[in-house]
Amino acid sequence: MKKKGEIKTCFYCNTIIAKDRLEMDHFPIPDDCGGTFTVPACQSCHDMKDRFTLESWIQSENGWIRAIINDFPSMSRETRIFLAKTMALYSRGIKNELRKPQATRPCP
């Protein structure tokens, strides 16, 4: 537990966050899916996580697939397998959405 007044750093990029710029991100379960645990996040990382789609991010210069592949050697076995499972779920979700263009996005 962090002490009151302690300097906060972004959970995702480790940047020191000014008090008036601090955002709290629901992680690992989103707020709209019932998540209650939050982590400190800078606005840039919070935007990248929650306000940009994976589809738009993949096309950027620092797209997430390239970043994951570059980082793979430094990840634990569990992280690698978790990411592989997540990517499979994501791919199946995209495939199903393409079949049902009217479908909403319910929480799992």
Q: How far is the CB of 10 from Zn ion (least distance, A)?
A: 3
Using alpha carbons, select from 45, 48, 49 the residue that is nearest to residue 31: 49
Site residues for Zn ion per CB under 5 A: 10, 12-13, 15, 42, 45
Q: How far is the CB of 38 from Zn ion (least distance, A)?
A: 14
- C-alpha 93: how far from its chain's center? 16
Q: Which is nearer to Zn ion, 48 or 68 (CB)?
A: 48
Residue 17, beta-bridge partner list = 8
Q: Which is nearer to Zn ion, 14 or 70 (CB)?
A: 14
For residue 92, the number of C-alpha atoms closer than 13 Å in the C-beta half-sphere is 7
Task: Determine the Cα–Cα distance for residues 26 and 32; give it in Å rounded to an integer.
Answer: 9
Q: Which is nearer to Zn ion, 8 or 10 (CB)?
A: 10
Q: How far is the CB of 26 from Zn ion (least distance, A)?
A: 15
